């Protein structure tokens, strides 16, 4: 069974930072993060391949950094300069795909709340 477990969410003031982690039970070619705010569609935040290629949403470029540790099957999202608009449930996403986009497996999500 595939399992993705997120951690690191919480409450932070605007301008602050937060680091999310997602641990997988196995290695995936693509791992990343999506987020969903109330009343909005789930949207891409960032993705990374096992080789280190990265794909960012325009709204987070320059502020968020995605990375991974292949030995630990873990992906990270360093979030800096947080804004109120970043408030959402953040979902880890992973799979064996070769194209950017939603992958097959999802975590249960972790809440990130940014106070303005």
Q: Tell me the per-residue pLDDT of 5-55, one tens digit each, with 9 for 90 and over.
A: 999 999 999 999 999 999 999 999 999 999 999 999 999 999 999 999 999
- At 85 the pLDDT is 96
Rounded Cα–Cα distance for residues 15 and 6 (Å): 22
Q: Tell me the per-residue pLDDT of 52-75, one tens digit each, with 9 for 90 and over.
A: 999 999 999 999 999 999 999 999
* DSSP-based three-state secondary structure for 111: strand
> 85 to each of 20, 77, 82, how far by Cα in Å?
17, 17, 8
- At 8 the pLDDT is 97
Binning pLDDT at 50, 70 and 90, where does residue 2 land? confident
């Amino acid at each position: 069974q595939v399992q993705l477990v997120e951690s690191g969410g919480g409450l932070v003031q605007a301008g602050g930072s937060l680091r999310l982690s997602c641990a997988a039970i196995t290695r995936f070619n693509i791992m990343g993060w999506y987020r969903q705010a109330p009343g909005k569609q789930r949207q891409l935040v960032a993705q990374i391949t096992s080789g280190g290629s990265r794909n960012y949403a325009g709204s987070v470029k320059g502020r968020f950094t995605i990375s991974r540790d292949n030995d630990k099957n873990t992906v990270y999202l360093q979030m800096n300069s947080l804004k109120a608009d970043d408030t959402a449930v953040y979902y880890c996403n992973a799979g064996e795909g070769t194209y950017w986009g939603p992958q097959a497996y999802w975590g249960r999500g972790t809440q990130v709340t940014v106070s303005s």
